[in-house]
Structure 1
């Protein structure tokens, strides 16, 4: 399966574009934002669990990155309400479930094989936030190849870079962004290809963004056939 698989192209997906489709697991639906492959795929998705839904124990050969957007996500006896950020490294296993239902932003098969550390960050904990260049930042993960954080912006704050060598992804967790004559509402996802310009402005106070930079340098730059 190929969805938005040419990483040399800019992609914008707004809530109006969300096409929910059932996964093979009953009670779990998803919006496929980009994807190369079948069930063992390089993929970025929104994933929605209905209440009392569970997956069997399974592994993620290429790792899994999760941001809990709503509800509560659970792994065994560990529970993560909205705001938690999780990284499960390549080769890790888990048995996810949700008692009350949850909405997740999920990236599969996009970690380097060398990554070994399981990471858990509560972005609702004020101690995990700092002020940097006039913005509130919650660092999530950083290495030589990618940087991941949440940003909280006041209305009118500009996020701009003339060219991103490794590209970027932006998910609007709360609030809105203005880009030229377009307003991107909460739930919009933008993928900026390597070397393209980033020029966005917060359209409302307390706009919260998931921002991931640098990781697209090693992504496929031609359509996969």
Structure 2
């Protein structure tokens, strides 16, 4: 398999990608395909992507030297820690090891090599549990993870919602469902946007949307795989 090319490799530049417009590309594991949104280059790299597992497929056991963060968009993702159905948010810290697989198939939004060496634990959040959500002026908000470097949340925007997002240390947005606008950019379902510049951006929707937001993480980047 040829060496993958870099995709939007500079985290200090803005980028917008409609993942549904990209082709599915094969991975090293049979039956597992990817749509890569950003990557520093190489098979072992800092990367953000969508990964689709066909039924009865998986990867051999491996270690995550730079950590792994993912949100299950459809199906059921499984590993040694259990089954993670659609709506599961998972963080596997630096140095964790597993053999991911699926019986029925699944699609995940996943980030690799975005964790600092001191994050070694596990995080599991069921985003389908309404008890985890809290009211917000734009609809509802679900905190997923927060430390001194980054804040990760899901926002559920009610139809017609308009709100402002303060950007300090970078912003990343992924539209899980529905459609929204971020500033002047229209984002349909499975669209991803990176905004490194500090400022205030308007996030709005006409028909409603569920949106993943990560903030602050671009100010203090973890080591790259080849560092």
Please list the CA deviations of residues 91-137 of structure 1 after superposition, one character each: whole Å capped at 9, or x if unmatched: 00001001111000000000011112201100001111111345311
Structure 1 residue aligned with 2:118: 114
Structure 2 residue aligned with 1:211: 213
In the comparison of the two structures, how many residue pairs are matched? 218
Alignment pair present for 1:140 and 2:144? yes
Answer yes or no: is 1:86 the counterpart of 2:70: no
What is aligned with 1:223?
A: none
Moved more, 3-12 or 137-146: 3-12
Task: Give the Å deviation of 1:179.
Answer: 4.2
Residue among 132, 136, 156 paired with 1:128: 132
- Distance in 2 of aligned mates of 1:79 and 1:212: 25
Distance 2:53 2:18 in 1: 20
Bigger mean CA offset, 195-204 vs 95-104: 195-204
* Residues 1:44 and 2:48 are matched in the alignment: yes
Q: 1:215 to 1:74 in 2, by over 3 A?
A: same
| Distance in 2, Cα, partners of 1:27 & 1:139 | 33
Change (3 A) 1:46 1:52: same
TM-score by length of 1: 0.91
TM-score, normalised with respect to structure 2 = 0.90
Question: Which stretches in structure 1 are left out of the alignment for 5+ residues?
Answer: 221-225
Query: Partner of 2:58 in structure 1?
Result: 54
Tell me whether 77-86 or 211-220 shows the greater mean CA deviation: 211-220
Q: Distance in 1 between matches of 2:162 and 2:167?
A: 16
Quote the offset at 1:196 in angstroms. Answer: 4.9
Question: Per-residue displacement from partner, 1:166-220 (whole Å, max 9, x unpaired)?
Answer: 1111111111002466532111111111325422211213x10011100011249
Aligned to 2:178: 175
Q: Deviations over 1:47-91 (max 9, x none)?
A: 000110021110000000010000110003611110000000000
Asked if 2 retains the 8 angstrom alpha-carbon contact of 1:175 and 1:203, the reply is no
Tell me how far apart the structure 1 counterparts of residues 200 and 34 of structure 2 sit (CA, whole Å).
29
Equivalent residues of 2:69, 2:110 under 8 A apart = yes
C-alpha distance in structure 1 between counterparts of 2:217 and 2:195, whole Å? 11
What's the C-alpha RMSD, in Å, of the aligned pairs?
Answer: 1.8
Cα offset, 1:17, TM superposition: 3.2
